[in-house]
Amino acid sequence: MVRKDAQVSSPSARYQRLSQDDDGFVDAQFKPRIKSIPWRAISYALLLFAAGTLLLVVGSLLVTGYLEEKYADRTWPVIILGLLMFIPGAYHSYLAYYAFQGYEGYSFDDIPSYDD
């Protein structure tokens, strides 16, 4: 059956039959890539998390007065340094945990790795 909107080609036009097995895709693009776990970045994140937690605890003990008064001048620098270490450490540890557990939307690609 001929379609009504089909046009008759010119006799001078040269056509070449395309091969039937070439679909325009490469098999390698469908292979899942190997997931590499950035162990060094995760260990740095855990170190930042632990050190930041420790500094925040020490800073809070300084604020409440459980530590001696002679260390009172170090209170706010310890708290600020603790926050600067705790926040990125906690965030990247959180990402690593959820990526390791396989939750949807989390992957190790979200953790910056400079080992590439």
The whole-model pTM stands at 0.68
pLDDT at residue 7, rounded to an integer:
59
The alpha carbons of the chain give a radius of gyration, in whole angstroms, of 30
Task: Please report whether residue 105 resides in a domain.
Answer: yes
What's the number of domains the chain is made of? Answer: 1
User: Model confidence over 62-108: pLDDT tens digits?
Assistant: 999 888 878 788 899 999 999 999 999 999 999 999 999 999 999 98
Q: Which of 21, 97, 87 is nearest to 52 (CA)?
A: 87
User: How many whole angstroms separate alpha carbon 16 and alpha carbon 7?
Assistant: 18
Task: Please report whether residue 25 resides in a domain.
Answer: no
User: How many whole angstroms separate alpha carbon 54 and alpha carbon 60?
Assistant: 10
Report the b/e string of 27-45 with b at 16+ CB within 10 A: eeeeeeeeeeebeebbebb
Task: Please report whether residue 45 resides in a domain.
Answer: no
Does residue 46 carry a pLDDT above 90?
A: yes
- Give the range of the structural domain holding residue 83, as residue numbers without chain letter: 55-110
